[in-house]
Amino acid sequence: MTDYKIPPAVEKAVVTRIYAQADEAQWPHLQDADRTRLYQEWTEDPEIGGRLLGFVEQQANIRPWLKDCPMKEYERARRGEGKYAKYVTRPAATLEQMVAATLGPGWEVIPGSTQQKPMRARIREVGAEDEERHFVAGTAANLKHLVWPAILDRSAGETWPWMICVVDPFRAPVSPEKKEEHRRVAEFLGVRIVYFSEM
């Protein structure tokens, strides 16, 4: 991806607009065809594609920039992470909020331990300095990416327990069949899977 010199004011206007529309369209639950349609609409929209055109050389570069820059970061931005987080108008739960919701208010994210891709951190009970766990969160569609850090840790002899937090959206809940599949995976890997109900 070419590093286009898009002025901050233009980037702010464009990203704020597409994030609001992605939120309205329930982006995380859209099929590929619906996402393709939205990308086309954004490319043709004078307030989105029209603003970008002078900085990305040609219209054919608008969609790749939208996809590889702001939309690639959309989920992280919704959860308060990354450079585009400031453009989100309706943020989703943060990692800290998911930890508190699934384990209770007596748990905390260890400062400086947060990592991305997938979103994860080390956690502990408040006041317990030597009882850490790993906590990783994401959607059911990305389960393979959520368990991969645990697999790597296990293969290297790491022994801290792993907790996989699957976001369970109210509008598109994880099916009982998927939850059973998750249970089998968790048992096989020796990890714990919890669900975070998200409105």
Strands (E), 3-131: 107-109, 119-125
Domain count, the chain: 2
Which ranges of 109-164 does DSSP label H, i.e. alpha helix? 143-155
Q: Which residues of the chain carry a pLDDT beneath 70?
A: 1-2
* Predicted pLDDT of residue 1: 55
Q: Give one DSSP letter per residue of 173-186, joined into a string.
A: PPPHHHHHHHHHHH
* Predicted pLDDT of residue 192: 96
Q: Angle at which helices 143-155 and 176-189 pack, to 10 degrees?
A: 10
* Predicted pLDDT of residue 172: 84
Angle at 164 between CA 163 and CA 166, to 5 degrees: 145
Q: Are both 110 and 76 inside the same structural domain? A: no
* Predicted pLDDT of residue 2: 64
* Predicted pLDDT of residue 28: 83
* Predicted pLDDT of residue 129: 75
Q: How does pLDDT run across 164-197, given as a tens digit for each residue?
A: 999 998 888 999 999 999 999 999 999 999 999 9
State the amino acid at position 65 in one-letter form: W
| Contacts for 117 with CB less than 8 Å, ≥ 6 apart | 145
Q: Are both 107 and 187 inside the same structural domain? A: yes
* Predicted pLDDT of residue 55: 95
- 3-state class of 116 per DSSP? coil
pTM: predicted TM-score of the whole model, two decimal places: 0.81
Residue 193's domain comprises 95-198
* Predicted pLDDT of residue 29: 80
* Predicted pLDDT of residue 198: 87
| Contacts for 171 with CB less than 8 Å, ≥ 6 apart | 26, 29
Listed residues 61, 87, 113: the one ending a domain: 87
